[in-house]
Amino acid sequence: MTARGTVEAPATRDPLAQDAAFEERIAFFERVLREWLDDDRVGIACGSWEDGGIVELIPRRRARLLPAAYQGCFLGVRELRVAGGEHHMHLDLGRVHAIACAVVPSVCFAFRPSFEVRLLVTGPGGAPTDRASMSLMLLDPYPAGGLDGDVVQRFFERARRHVAERPDLVRVEIASQVRTSGEGAAILRCLKDVVASDLADEPAWDVALEQLNAGARAAPAEPLDPPVLPLLEGALGLREASLVIHRERTLVEFQTETLAGVERSVHDGHVSWQIGRFDQHHCHLSIGAVTRVLFSAEPVPCQGGRLNYTVWFLTAVPCGNPYRRNGYFSVVLNRPYDERGPRAEIIAQVIRLFLEHRSAPLVEADATFLDAVAACSGTAR
């Protein structure tokens, strides 16, 4: 690619090694989460003031993290329940790319420092973000109006253990406002006690943080390929088909035979997926935003009222498609019929694609498409 960004081919990665790394990360995040939940001084916060609201749970060591119930791309999904109540939450540890143990001013403490463990999640395209799906926070670091040094020191000690175990996944951050706050000197003393430092106060923050973060921090983990990628590559391999992007008053089609694969594109930290060669017609899509794939067969006017065979790539929220509100893009057969009727060899290829991926958690099919599958295989649905 040109200076606008860089392109990396996903085929260069070992999928088995990637799966193992995915499972190891989930196991580590789950272990860390369980350890913090076992502390009766820790509460749970979800949401952001940027989005207009925050939900807080006070578990008091009554929180239970249920074991994994799914496989594949949903392996990291966990259910968190608090004994004695019906309220609960679901979280996806597979979307977490790092843990930030953050000390930041908080409205909850009249803008005095809050001590939080933030589960940072990936965004569209699998790119790391600074947004947290949930946070664990010290409930009362100021029990008598002043900072509880023992509690804060234990916060830093636990964070340091987790950093030492996985410096590529955990880091400690302290906001600049905290350093100059009324509690800054007391927090710095706790930090220096943990790293056994006798540094002078002025440069001590940066040096002590570097020691706490295990020296030079490892590079962030490379984003995993979106789970929909193999299916998308298969859909783009369909003959006599088009990639369709439909928006209000705009419909763009790329014939699949003219598109040369899918490549990850990185520019200024933003990750997208380039479909087609850069020196030809192509597009960039955030395929990590795809949450479901629907195999559909619907009667449409452009096929003379006959079935239109479509693979829909859907998002969790509306994306501007006037026909299907969450239809991000689709791959559709162009000519499944000729003057003699259905072209069995063309229709069969999309049915084979469905059968290959039907066990994936994100794959669905509508009733009419399943009837077509049954007719093709000679069995009842």
Q: pTM for the whole thing?
A: 0.56
Walking along the chain (381 residues) 10 residues at a time, the average pLDDT comes out as 36 50 91 93 82 79 86 85 84 92 89 93 72 91 91 94 92 90 91 72 71 60 73 94 92 89 71 81 86 92 88 86 91 92 93 93 92 73 49
In eight-state DSSP terms, residue 142 is: -
- Six-digit token string for 192: 């220096």
Token reading at 190: 């706790």
Residue 153 to residue 192: CA distance in whole angstroms:
9
Beta strands 290-299 and 363-365 are parallel
pLDDT of the residue at 218: 47
CATH 3.40.1570.10 domain position(s) in the chain: 229-377
Q: Just give the CATH number of 6-212.
A: 3.40.1570.20
Considering the domain delimited by 229-377, tell me its CATH architecture: 3-Layer(aba) Sandwich (3.40)
With the CA atoms of 305, 309, 314 and 320 taken in that order, what torsion angle do they form, in degrees rounded to the nearest 10?
Answer: -40
- CA–CA gap between residue 313 and residue 331 (Å, rounded): 8
Instruction: Give CA torsion, residues 105, 107, 111, 116, to 10 deg.
Output: -30
What is the distance between the alpha carbons of residues 261 and 276, in angstroms, rounded to a whole number? Answer: 6
How far apart (Å, rounded) are the C-alpha atoms in residues 42 and 283?
46
> In the structure encoding, which two tokens stand for residue 172, read together?
């400690």
